[in-house]
Amino acid sequence: MQGREDQESGAFERLPPQGPPPLNGTSKQRAIMRNPNEGTSKHQAIQQVISQKTSEHRAIPRRPPGMSRVETPPEVPRVPRPSHQQPQPKKFRSRILMFTGILIALAIIACTVGYFLATGINVSANPSVTATDFLSALNTKDYPQAYKDLGPAITIRMSEDQFAKQAGVLDACYGPVKDYSEIADSAKNQDNNQSYSYNIKRTKNARDIAYKLQITLQKDQDDGSWKITEYSNNMGPAQPVPACSK
């Protein structure tokens, strides 16, 4: 028992004392610990080299005094870009030309047909127009205008003054022409002559005198106009009234 106790007490005596283990670092660590200012000296050397290299660059020139500082670059005028026009398709142009040609052709046809129709209507209506103009001039006592509607068959044997005197006598005896109207289906065409019959009404002292007047016209070969070649009863009634017989 005593020997065991001696062994145990000897083992306790051989245990190392508790605490931080001893430093077993390398030689470099020992060197750093020995000279702690060695790292800062290397850093200062690097800064000196950098400062030497930057001093070798050229210095930036200073702006002359009084020169204004340009904040933005000047505007450069730009040449306008030419506008691109879209060419029309060939089909569209051909259609326009086709429609234009059709319209021109239709216009020519319409003008031609209208011309022939108007010519035919004027040829057939001119005799009636001349006769109506003659009676209208008598109604207004415009004797010179009525004389212009007469053809050479009458104007050769009667001057304008003689015609005006004859018309004035009729107006004084029977009164002026108040009304006239074409008799239905009285138009007759024979060779180059055209004739119409009219109902004439004159008024004298509130008395109406009605009679029929036939007018014959002939187409002039030179200018194609229609002129009066004959009128019945010298433009008056067949039987004279007592006032004109005196």
- More confident position, 81 or 32: 81
Task: Answer yes or no: is 202 within a domain.
Answer: yes
**Amino acid identity, position 115:** Y
User: Which three-class secondary structure state does DSSP give residue 41?
Assistant: helix
pLDDT at 99: 79
C-beta atoms surrounding 127 within 10 Å? 24
**pLDDT interval class at 225 (50, 70, 90):** confident
d(CA 122, CA 112): 15
pLDDT at 216: 93
180 forms beta bridges with 200
CATH code of the domain in which 132 resides: 3.10.450.100
Q: Tokens for 216?
A: 């014959």
**Amino acid identity, position 123:** V
What are the CB-based long-range contacts (under 8 Å, 24+) for 40-49?
A: none
User: Which three-class secondary structure state does DSSP give residue 181?
Assistant: strand
Task: Answer yes or no: is 209 within a domain.
Answer: yes
User: Which three-class secondary structure state does DSSP give residue 76?
Assistant: coil
* pLDDT exceeds 70 at position 1: no
**pLDDT interval class at 236 (50, 70, 90):** confident
d(CA 146, CA 202): 17
pLDDT at 202: 92
What's the mean per-residue pLDDT of the chain?
74
% pLDDT > 90, the chain: 27
Task: Answer yes or no: is 191 within a domain.
Answer: yes
pLDDT tens, position by position, 106-160? 888 887 777 655 554 444 458 889 999 999 999 999 999 999 999 998 999 999 9
* pLDDT exceeds 60 at position 6: no
Beta strands 207-219 and 226-231 are antiparallel
d(CA 207, CA 59): 134
Task: Please report, for residues 63, 66, 77, 204, the alpha-carbon distance to residue 69 in angstroms, rounded to integers and kept in the order given.
Answer: 9, 9, 22, 114
**Amino acid identity, position 106:** L
Whats the size of the chain, residue-wise? Answer: 246
pTM confidence score: 0.48
* pLDDT exceeds 80 at position 5: no
Task: Answer yes or no: is 194 within a domain.
Answer: yes
Nearest residue to 166 via CA among 180, 152, 147: 147
% pLDDT > 70, the chain: 57
d(CA 30, CA 167): 163
d(CA 226, CA 219): 4
Number of domains in the chain: 1
Judge residue 166's burial from the number of C-beta atoms within 10 Å of its C-beta, 0-12 exposed, 13-18 middle, 19 or more buried. middle
- Print the domain residue range for 224: 117-245
* pLDDT exceeds 90 at position 201: yes
* pLDDT exceeds 50 at position 233: yes
Task: Answer yes or no: is 57 within a domain.
Answer: no
Q: Tokens for 56?
A: 């070798």
Task: Answer yes or no: is 159 within a domain.
Answer: yes
Task: Answer yes or no: is 174 within a domain.
Answer: yes
pLDDT tens, position by position, 202-222? 988 888 889 999 999 998 877
pLDDT at 76: 67
d(CA 10, CA 109): 149
d(CA 216, CA 43): 143
* pLDDT exceeds 70 at position 43: no
Task: Answer yes or no: is 172 within a domain.
Answer: yes
Find out whether 219 and 225 touch, Cβ atoms under 8 Å. Answer: yes
